[in-house]
Amino acid sequence: MTEQTADGLMLAADGKPLKQSLNRALRRQKLRAFLLIAPLLIFVLVTFIAPIGDMLFRSVENDIVADTLPRTVAALADWSPDSGAPPGEPVYRALASDLLIAVAAKTHTQLGTRLNYEDSGFSSLLRGTGRDVDDMGEDVGKALVAVDPVWDEPVTWTNLLGDPAWISAQADWAKAGDKTPEPPFVPSAAAQKNLPLTAAAYGDFARVMQTVKEDSPTEKRPWNTVAVSLTEDLKANPSAAAAFGADWQPRLSAVVAAEQGGAIPAADFMAAFTESDKAWGTPQPWEVIKTFSPRFTSGYFLNAVDLKMTPEGIAPRSEAERVYLMLFLRTMVLSLVITGTCILLGYPVAWLLANLPARTANLLMILVLLPFWTSLLVRTSAWKVLLQQQGVINDLLVWAGLVADNNRLVLINNQTGTIIAMTHILLPFMILPLYSVMKTIPPSYLRAAKSLGATDWTAFWRVYFPQSVPGIGAGSILVFILAIGYYITPELVGGAKGVFISNRIAYHIGTSLNWGLAAALGSLLLVVVLVLYWVYDRIVGIDNVKLG
């Protein structure tokens, strides 16, 4: 029972506003409906939306350079490749620091792989330099030890640079000898203030020792970069020793004195890098690092359309390096041809299916579906047996005298092979939608057309065909979209000229591991499909598509 309040609000029997009651009733229904679709929704999200999102992200993601070489990237900010000269010593220093950490974590080879995509040779460049980087600045380290052997002792460094609280905590930990991790190294305030470079370099070293190598910094001599940092700190601030305890003052002063006396050489990382690999003495590798240092890159997408990013901007790749646009084009053209042949071959079959008596139609339907029940590889191999030059079809043609024995047709390992095999494989996807649409076209339309004076052809073309167009549309979309994604069949029967862009994607996923490029190619393929879908919608209208 409903009533109305003074302001015209309808009330339900319990006196609450009718709208509110209705909403409550509907909410339960909506919730139940949502719970029903929830499994599918989650399934689609997890298995479809998330991977596509991941793919799109991968195609632009480029954290590795900035993560692996943070100091180098920062130091390169001031350098311009236009100078035509390699960057200055600080950049080499930064790279040495970065590489020491990366080598310990073994990430320099991953970075090498990444940059090798952009510049061939980077992989071995980084692997080779990774082997040498430990020894860079060795002369400084040795000179320091020559001044005072105490610098060869790992604890010298922890005591000089470590926070007193950390030193005692570390000592307690070492005494306890249990399996808990060592307390993380903390530099002292004095060291950070007076020996900033040393504190930072040693901090990196200690962190890597503790986390990556699971060693104690008290037991490992620090990298040469730490020694180099110490000499530089002392050069910049010869009175730094004053900030440290009485024990330290003579030691540090000795270093200052040695330095001033020329007993400690100036570190030359540039020379060390150039010695490791001549390439470091040229602007080339630095250009590459700088160009690909941002966390997001268009590099993969550019590569996917045969362009490349250079310091001067986007440029086309050289003739020999262009392959993807050609493959995209070939994929589209061949897929269209396959769709076309599927229409030509499938239309009459679907018509027969829709018009034969049920029993015969069922038998024919089984024949149509037969390819669905055989594995893709078996079918493809069967085509090989049929189509090859010594194969069944050529044998028949030779036997029938249609083809000379020494001039057998090349039906496989080329585009013809791809078209034939894929047409066969995809034919059911054309026939089934066509059939389901044709099944709904009553024969009386054709009769009506004929009774109105149309010839068989006119009746078909003006009356039957337009009504079967939704089936052609649905079949074509299915076949085309499936076709551009195929790669096993083209790989096996397509030879050199019948392979698709998907084969390249599979290659980059499975063999070259260039997942970024694979993702970019995949994303482009997705965009192409969406664009074609949109064009199709504009021309034919997507509501005109009937799948059944």
Which residues in 115-144 contact another protein (CB under 8 A)? 116-117, 120-124, 127
Residue 504 interacts with another protein (CB under 8 A)? yes
Residue 491 interacts with another protein (CB under 8 A)? yes
For tokens 């649905």, the residue is: 474
Residue 511 interacts with another protein (CB under 8 A)? yes
Q: Quick one: which of 507, 526, 528, 540 contacts another protein (CB under 8 A)?
A: 507
DSSP code string of 233-264: HHHH-GGGGGGS-TTHHHHHHHHHHHHHTT-S
H or E element that contains 4: strand 3-4
Cite the DSSP H helix spans in 356-414. 358-369, 376-387, 392-399
Among residues 474, 460, 469, the alpha carbon closest in space to that of 432 is found at 474
Q: How many residues form the binding site for another protein (CB under 8 A)?
A: 59
Question: Nearer to another protein by C-beta: 162 or 285?
Answer: 285
- Three-state DSSP at 410 gives coil
Token readout for 494 is 């397509």
Q: Quick one: which of 21, 80, 113, 298 contacts another protein (CB under 8 A)?
A: 113
Question: Nearer to another protein by C-beta: 129 or 156?
Answer: 129
C-alpha span between 90 and 274 (Å, rounded): 14
Which residues in 331-390 contact another protein (CB under 8 A)? 388-390
Q: Looking only at Cα atoms, what is the longest distance across the chain? A: 118
Q: Quick one: which of 110, 210, 253, 274 contacts another protein (CB under 8 A)?
A: 110
Strand partners, 310: 313
Phi first, then psi: give them for residue 507, nearest 5 degrees: -65, -45
Distances from the Cα of 391 to the Cα of 149, 410, 450, 492, angstroms:
81, 10, 47, 16
Look up residue 405 and give its amino acid: D
Applying CB under 8 A, the span of 59-67, 216-224, 322-330, 431-439 interacting with another protein comes to: 322-330
Applying CB under 8 A, the span of 10-18, 106-114, 174-182, 250-258 interacting with another protein comes to: 106-114
Question: Nearer to another protein by C-beta: 155 or 398?
Answer: 398
Other Cβ atoms less than 10 A from the Cβ of 401: the count is 8
Residue 326 interacts with another protein (CB under 8 A)? yes
Residue 403 interacts with another protein (CB under 8 A)? no
Applying CB under 8 A, the span of 80-88, 209-217, 351-359, 445-453 interacting with another protein comes to: 445-453
C-alpha span between 175 and 191 (Å, rounded): 26
Question: Nearer to another protein by C-beta: 217 or 494?
Answer: 494
Strand partners, 315: 308
Residue 19 interacts with another protein (CB under 8 A)? no
Residue 466 interacts with another protein (CB under 8 A)? yes
Question: What DSSP character marks residue 548?
Answer: -
Which residues in 467-486 contact another protein (CB under 8 A)? 467
For tokens 């090859």, the residue is: 388
- Three-state DSSP at 102 gives helix
Residue 452 interacts with another protein (CB under 8 A)? yes
Least spacing, CB of residue 260 vs another protein, in Å: 44
Question: Nearer to another protein by C-beta: 273 or 324?
Answer: 324
Least spacing, CB of residue 127 vs another protein, in Å: 7
C-alpha span between 205 and 68 (Å, rounded): 15
Residues of the shown chain interacting with another protein in the complex, contacts defined by CB under 8 A: 106-107, 109-110, 112-113, 116-117, 120-124, 127, 320-323, 326-327, 330, 388-391, 413, 442, 444-445, 447-456, 458-459, 462-463, 466-467, 491-492, 495-497, 504, 507, 509-515
